[in-house]
Chain A
Amino acid sequence: MSDKVLMKGNEALAQAAICAGCRHFFGYPITPQTELAAYMSKTMPKIGGTYLQAESEIAAINMVQGAAAAGVRAMTSSSSPGISLKLEGISYMAGADLPALIINVQRGGPGLGGIQPSQSDYDLATKAPGHGDLHILVFAPSSVQEMVDLVSHAFDSADKYRMPAMILADGLLGQMMEPVVLPEKAKEPSELPKKEWAACGHEGERKHNIVNSLYLQPQELEDVVKARYERYAKIEADEQMCEKYMTEDADFVIVAFGACSRIAKSAINIARKKGIKVGLIRPITLWPFPVDALKEAAKNAKAFLSVEMNMGQMVNDVKLAIECKKPVEFFGHTGGIIPTPAEIVAKIEKMQEEIK
């Protein structure tokens, strides 16, 4: 096993992508994700990869689209305002069935907002990552190690289902350092499965491949979208991921992802010492949402609490998942303010009072 090293989340994401065989990075700087691009700019030239700082986020995502169409593992990274600009390209990639990795190290919004950690792009990532009927895979790591692990899983899943994948991190995870174990051996692009559909030149040896998202005949477009939604249904059935923490006997189940889930765990440890039975379901995939685990938890829990660094976005998915069979409350801060364990415990105590 490789040695443990201390790494910033942003740098770990970059190194993990390289280990996963990605040699094409296109980006544009923005706080709090800049270390990722900086790491790529230092490393890619040394290993025969491409690092390109584009003239804008829109240019960068379109470069990713081009590289993905040619069949290589391509990625970009940004933070919330930059992600808004990338949505057009993400929609085009979804419409052309192209796999790629987009990293969003979220900061507060709307507009230029702030630069402190936030989770206010939850709805953007899971509901409308561009115009049209589409989904992308959305992964939410909660530690630097998990950032490393999810990068290769996201690339593999994107290739498997031929669709874009997003890692939804935040400023806290991007900036913090934790010990990580990196893969022993970095994958070479040549080791990755061939993409028979890629438009990468064939010197007249085969029928040419077309990568396109334009279908002017309504019937044709409906057929293509419906076929894609069949694939989405399979993903929703097979690819849900979550972590459960002390849920077996929990009266109250907190649902939190990413950085917020770490704060929630602190709160649970405090509440447990006070004798309140609280547990956590931490979605690792935000799309597909871990509906099955929540349904299971709803059988015994008295109530749910969604804790988020936004004004309450995932809370609606929690209600849908458990079909409103139990009360679902929300607690959160926005604008870059991180909830404290004490605040979460206070909220749980209040819920306990109300339920008695």
Chain B
Amino acid sequence: MTDINALFAGFGGQGILFMGKMLAYAGLYGDKQVSWMPSYGPEMRGGTCNCGVCISDEPICSPLVTTPNVFVAMNKPSLEKFINDVEEGGIVILDSTLIDSVVERKDITVYYVPATQLAADNEMSGLANMIIMGKMMAATGVFTLEDMEKTFRKIIPAKKAHLVEKNMEAVKLGAAL
């Protein structure tokens, strides 16, 4: 498997850190080496938030994602801040409901997913992040829908099992785009 160095960025409250955790857990349950590193610095105080996830077959040296090959942006400031750091050939997924700009770089693949709008239209309030997650899984091909479901079942406590279905619906919607 090619190493994944993923960066998730957006506002606090959009489930940015959770997306990263999902990816890290999926890696863990897939017997990969993983790391997850959140931003906790001054930028967090400004309301933006990001986290980096590394997945590899080899032990992870630096957990810092300085040149992501997968980049998820859920607001405009995050897109502008990190878009030039994305590795050549990298994959970018952005929430086009919240970001009205078009990426000029031609050496990367950009997917415009109106996730916030889709979540509102499909009674999936608060699950825009999982729609994006589904698209990310499909676009990168790293994990299957089965892997995702298995991961949800492990990390969501049994008494909240109904949330697995909800999250998976959103993931499937994103994956099918």
Contact = CB atoms under 8 A, between A and B. Distances in A.
The judgment on whether A and B are partners is yes
Interface of A: 4, 6, 31-32, 114-116, 171-172, 175-179, 262-263, 265-266, 269, 336, 338, 340-341
Contacts of A338: 64
A341 B36 contact: no
A171 B62 CA distance: 14
Interface string B12-45: 0000000001001100100001111110111000
Interface residues of B, number: 19
B35 A171 contact: no
Contacts of A269: 61
B64 A115 contact: no
Contact of B34 (A32, A179, A341): A179
Given A4-B28, A6-B28, A336-B41, A176 B61 contact: no
A6 B64 CA distance: 17
B66 interface: yes
Given A176-B63, A263-B62, A266-B62, A6 B41 contact: no
Given A177-B21, A263-B61, A341-B62, A31 B36 contact: no
Contacts of A171: 40
Contact of A6 (B21, B38, B40, B62): B21
Contact of B35 (A32, A177, A265): A177
Q: Is the interface of B mostly helix, strand, loop or mixed?
A: mixed
- 3 smallest CB-CB distances across A and B, nearest first, come from A266-B61, A177-B36, A265-B61
B35 A176 contact: yes
Point out which of B35, B37, B62 has the most chain A C-beta atoms below 10 A from its C-beta: B62
A175 B38 contact: yes
Contacts of A179: 28, 33-34
Contacts of B33: 179
Interface string B52-77: 00000000111110100000000000
Interface of B: 21, 24-25, 28, 33-38, 40-42, 60-64, 66
B96 to A, nearest CB: 30
A340 B64 CA distance: 9
A4 B38 CA distance: 20
Given A6-B28, A176-B35, A178-B35, A115 B62 contact: no
Nearest to B32: A179
11 contacts: A32-B40, A175-B37, A176-B35, A176-B37, A177-B24, A177-B35, A178-B36, A262-B60, A266-B61, A266-B62, A341-B61
A217 B26 CA distance: 64
Contacts of B37: 172, 175-177
Given A6-B28, A115-B42, A176-B36, 15 more contacts: A6-B36, A32-B40, A116-B41, A175-B37, A175-B40, A176-B38, A176-B63, A177-B24, A177-B35, A177-B37, A178-B60, A262-B63, A263-B62, A265-B61, A340-B64
